[in-house]
């Protein structure tokens, strides 16, 4: 049972940050504003990540924030990763999700489930130059993730994988993939196993890149496996334990997506507040009108409530306290706030908000995915209902 006193001590000061976390937050904020902001429109238009930005993310240590020092990392906190995702997403949620997937999904899975040999081999690369992808979803397994059809059969010291994955973030740039396949379909979800697959593995191919409504600089691709041979040594965790890895990793990842949507909402507010003090109508700025003031005030209140949910879930996870309900609440609520804040920002901009010359149109498109990936809003509601009603 968790220590009640410790749990309360974590819940109460959730908005406070350590000195290291404050430094990281401020550093990432400056980087995002100075280096990413000038390229946001171009990356969205071209639907492609600027390679120089990716290189800087690695150089700053933002692609493996929690990786321990013995594997080449800085050993930062989970909250630090969440802050980095939030601050980058306030400028470009597409870059925010790249950092999120790398940290809260793939690096965390490797640190938690990898054996020592796997950690020594892969974690230094994850930290320094290798983008990672997390490949669970398929055409027939979205919310019902464990109905996946990709299979793996044992062949000596190897497994042979066949199947197709869809909606895989970071896939175009990734050099390492965590791929889930079933080694014993008759056992159902108990046959699901996680494999570490390098991009150049024979029989493995990154397929079509999707054209998306939003977060267009973040690649989303299909993966194709045709008799792809993977060494048994590349099984992550144990054979048949992939379902456990997927559940636990996604629970953590939902906090990351909530942080992405939090940053998006804050970015929308920033743009709307700034524009309201520049745009003049009837001889004064529109920020002088109570209607606009009330809109911005409600946005700010929603964002602050969202931030408390995100930080609370992150602190609970960081202190190894139960956090699944709080992660689901954060992901559900913050995705709603982000969509609403982006829409309100468009309205503050008026006609200018509807054209691509101004930044809020993009944030409005980016916001929609928050209610869909890493567990739809209905899946979050189901989790919350189960953990509150049965609690």
Tell me the catalytic residues. Answer: 374
Give per-residue burial for 244-273: e unless 16+ CB within 10 Å, then b: bbbeebbbbbbbbbbbbbbbbbbbbbebbb
DSSP state of 191: G
- 292 and 286 Cβ atoms separated by less than 8 Å: yes
Rounded to an integer, what distance in angstroms lies between the CA atom of residue 9 and that of residue 197? 41
Question: Rounded to whole angstroms, what are the CA distances from 96 to 86, 170, 300?
Answer: 7, 11, 21
Give per-residue burial for 96-105: e unless 16+ CB within 10 Å, then b: bbbbbbbbbb
Rounded to an integer, what distance in angstroms lies between the CA atom of residue 124 and that of residue 64? 9
- 104 and 137 Cβ atoms separated by less than 8 Å: no
Question: 352: which 2 tokens?
Answer: 């200018």
DSSP state of 35: I
* Burial environment of residue 366 by CB neighbours within 10 A (0 to 12, 13 to 18, 19 or more): buried
Rounded to an integer, what distance in angstroms lies between the CA atom of residue 143 and that of residue 246? 12
User: Minimal CA–CA distance to 348: which of 297, 290, 296, 283?
Assistant: 296
Rounded to an integer, what distance in angstroms lies between the CA atom of residue 98 and that of residue 83? 14
């Amino acid at each position: 049972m968790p220590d009640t006193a410790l749990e309360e001590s974590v819940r109460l000061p959730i908005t406070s940050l350590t000195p290291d976390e404050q430094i990281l937050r401020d550093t990432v904020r400056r980087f995002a504003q100075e280096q990413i902001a000038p390229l946001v429109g171009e990356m969205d238009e071209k639907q492609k990540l600027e390679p120089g930005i990716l290189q800087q993310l690695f150089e700053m240590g933002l692609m493996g924030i929690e990786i321990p020092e013995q594997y080449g990392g800085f050993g930062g906190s989970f909250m630090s990763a969440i802050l980095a995702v939030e601050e980058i997403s306030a400028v470009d949620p597409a870059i925010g999700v790249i950092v999120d997937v790398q940290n809260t999904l793939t690096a965390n899975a490797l640190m938690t489930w990898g054996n020592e040999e796997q950690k020594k081999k892969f974690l230094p690369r994850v930290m320094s130059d290798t983008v990672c992808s997390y490949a669970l979803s398929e055409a027939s397994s979205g919310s019902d993730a464990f109905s996946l059809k990709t299979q793996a059969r044992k062949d000596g010291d190897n497994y042979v994988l066949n199947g197709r994955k869809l909606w895989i973030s970071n896939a175009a740039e990734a050099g390492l993939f965590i791929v889930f396949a079933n080694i014993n379909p008759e056992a159902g979800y108990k046959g699901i196993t996680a494999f570490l697959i390098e991009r150049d593995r024979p029989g493995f191919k990154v397929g079509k890149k999707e054209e998306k409504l939003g977060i267009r600089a973040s690649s989303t691709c299909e993966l194709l496996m045709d008799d792809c041979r993977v060494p048994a040594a590349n099984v992550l965790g144990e054979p048949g334990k992939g379902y456990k890895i997927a559940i636990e990793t996604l629970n953590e990842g939902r906090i990351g997506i909530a942080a992405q949507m939090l940053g998006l909402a804050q970015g929308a507010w920033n743009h709307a507040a700034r524009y309201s003090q520049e745009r003049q109508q009837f001889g004064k700025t529109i920020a002088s009108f109570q209607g606009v003031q009330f809109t911005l005030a409600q946005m700010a209140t929603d964002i602050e409530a969202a931030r408390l949910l995100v930080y609370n879930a992150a602190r609970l996870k960081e202190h190894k306290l139960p956090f699944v309900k709080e992660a689901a609440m954060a992901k559900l609520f913050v995705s709603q706030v982000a969509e609403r804040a982006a829409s309100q920002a468009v309205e503050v901009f008026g006609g200018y908000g509807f054209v691509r010359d101004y930044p809020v149109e993009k944030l409005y498109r980016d916001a929609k995915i928050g209610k869909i990936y890493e567990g739809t809003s209905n899946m979050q509601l189901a989790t919350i209902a189960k953990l509150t009603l049965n609690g």
